[in-house]
Amino acid sequence: MVDESPIAGPLHLVKMAVGASDIEDLRRARAQRRVERGESWVYTRNQPRRAEAVLDGGSLYWVVKGQIRARERITGFRSQRDDNGRAYCLILTDGEFVVTLPRGFRPFQGWRYLAPPDAPRDASGGPAGDFAAMPDHMLLELRELGLI
């Protein structure tokens, strides 16, 4: 059963970046697909039931090699059917790729909800400082030490 209790802030989605070797690989792939398609979207089989909470400022967080490493703001959902009549959903994003501080996440299929308190901070700007240019191994070590 899904917890439907109110949460502070927008609800997010998290998705595995299958095939991406690092965040730069994911960034390149997302940019290339955006150019090919003319818009930024991600295919999924199931439409989120809590779409309204997600559309209230939520982001799609990307898991690369077991760590949430980036996000894109979700702008909408588009339900469609394939040639066999099977329903699917497109998660529309703004295409702005934002690197986040790393946060471990176990493998899964499809997507999962991510509550605001569990969402990692952006790697650049704000009180977190500017960690976007720091190598992955340094970020992971700082996180393990509890410094970020």
Which residue ranges make up each domain of the chain? Answer: 12-144
Q: Pick out the chain residues at pLDDT < 70.
A: 1-7, 125-136, 139-140, 143-148
The pLDDT value given to residue 7: 56
pTM of the model: 0.81
The pLDDT value given to residue 10: 93
Distance of CA 59 to the CA centre of its chain: 6
The pLDDT value given to residue 130: 60
- What is the tens place of the pLDDT at every residue in 39-63? 999 999 999 999 999 999 999 999 9
The pLDDT value given to residue 50: 96
Give the residue among 114, 115, 113, 109 at the shortest CA–CA distance from 45. Answer: 109
> Whose structure tokens read 């439409």?
47
In angstroms, the Cα distances linking 27 to 24, 94, 96, 99, 112 are: 5, 13, 10, 9, 21
